A = this chain, B = another copy of it.
Amino acid sequence: MPHLTVEYTDNLAGLPGQQLLAELNAVVCGHTTVQDEADVKARLLPLSCFEIGTAPAQRGFVHVQLRLLSGRSDAVKKELSDAMAAVLHRLTPQPPGMLVQLSVEIADMDRASYYKGRL
């Protein structure tokens, strides 16, 4: 059931989107708390209209949100977050003169009401 969403500002030309998703999925699927690799569902959202802070500077960001069914420990969440951050640092391009921020957020999904099925 993990849901992974990657947003990036589209001034980060050359960001290898599909590879980024594949490597983040590998991190999540490789973790012992995930049982079926097919469960990890990742999507990439390029952002064409954005605003970062208030100063007139050249800025960009990549943000990952991973949503997991509630119940994982803080330690597991921190491990996943750090491992995904390492992928971001490796794959995000650095345009000259741009301040690029990277962030990873782990969120719980309510387990009691979650529905999961297949056609």
Report how far A99 CA is from B89 CA in the complex, Å.
32
Interface size bracket, A side: 35 or more
From B54, B89, B105, B106, A37 is in contact (CB under 8 Å) with: B54
From B57, B63, B112, B119, A41 is in contact (CB under 8 Å) with: B63
From B1, B36, B94, B101, A38 is in contact (CB under 8 Å) with: B101
- Tell me how far the C-beta of A85 lies from the nearest C-beta in chain B, rounded to whole angstroms: 4
Given A25-B54, A47-B43, check contact A38 B113 (CB 8 Å). no
Pair A101/B52 contact, Cβ less than 8 Å:
no
Pair B54/A41 contact, Cβ less than 8 Å:
no
Residues of chain B with a CB closer than 8 A to A42's CB: 50-52
Given A57-B38, A114-B81, check contact A50 B21 (CB 8 Å). yes
From B7, B77, B109, B117, A110 is in contact (CB under 8 Å) with: B77
